[in-house]
Amino acid sequence: MHEIITMQNIHKIYNPGINQVAALSGIDLHIQNGEFTAIIGSSGSGKSTLMNIMGCLDTPDKGDYYLAGVNTSKLSEKQLSDIRSRKIGFIFQKFNLIPTLSALENVELPMLYMGYSQKQRKQRSLEALEIVGLKDRIRHKPGELSGGQQQRVAIARAVAANPEMILADEPTGNLDSAAGNAVIALLKKLNQDGKTIVLITHDEKTAAAATRKITVSDGKIIG
């Protein structure tokens, strides 16, 4: 087993100067390939900043972040975009589906930009939608699906290109408890099948699904 995430002395400061805010202060973090890790913290704890750096959506002001052995702190914007699209599947609280596209087309879309052929996109998307239990909903648009079904489409989109890691940011935040439980069960199943899952949440009950929990407060890991 190898480390997919290695963070060494990560710092992030907003508004440098008199009113500066230290969002992250000396974060050291190691996550093994195949782990299911929850990162938990209240609003303002630094967990969202940590997620943005972990997902290559932002870069640290100081320190090194290795994703699957690559030091992302040294990469250009284009290189960050490339490693982000190939190594990480994102699941967000707000689904981020395109309302005019079908479930199948929503899942296919990221792979279009990654250069997959039409045949590859369709095959991988159908397989992913079957994994999340939506094989019979592939032609439905987001407005024709429940919140839980929309989030399952978003999960299918995240896993279709077979990334090394799934980064899930409050994936149950907009769902009722039954739909939320179904999404967590799905993430557990993906982890059992070998996928690395990093779950960002403020909710202890949601975090309990993970096999490891990391607590963030005031920009530091406290547990």
89-105 pLDDT, tens digit per residue, is 999 888 889 999 999 99
CATH of the domain at 88: 3.40.50.300
Question: What domain range is 165 assigned to?
Answer: 35-59+76-221
CA separation for the pair 21, 12 (Å, rounded): 9
Contact in structure between 171 and 51 (CB atoms under 8 Å): no
Among candidate residues 187, 192, 189, 193, the one with its CA nearest the CA of residue 201: 187
**Residue 67, domain member (yes or no):** no
When the pLDDT of each residue in the chain is averaged and rounded to a whole number, the result is 90
The answer as to whether 6 is a domain residue is no
Q: Is residue 149 part of a domain?
A: yes
Asked if residue 11 belongs to a domain, the reply is: no
Q: Calculate mean pLDDT across residues 55-69.
A: 92
Q: Residue 187's closest CA among 217, 161, 167?
A: 167
Burial 20-53 (b: 16+ CB within 10 A, else e): eebbbbebebebeebbbbbbbbeeebbbbbbbbb
**In the structure, what pLDDT confidence band is assigned to residue 19 with cuts at 50, 70 and 90?**
confident
Within-domain flag for 29: no
What is the mean predicted confidence (pLDDT) over 7-11? Answer: 94
48's tokens: 């969202």
pLDDT on residue 37: 96
Residue 21: inside a domain, yes or no?
no
Within-domain flag for 135: yes
Domains: count for the chain: 1
| Rg from Cα positions in the chain | 17
Residue 1 has pLDDT above 70, yes or no: no
Residue 153 · residue 95 · CB < 8 Å: yes
CA separation (Å) from 209 to 5, 117, 142, 148, 169?
20, 36, 27, 18, 14
For residue 66, tell me if it sits in a domain.
Answer: no
The structure's pTM equals 0.90
Rounded distance between C-alpha atoms, residue 218 and residue 24, angstroms: 7
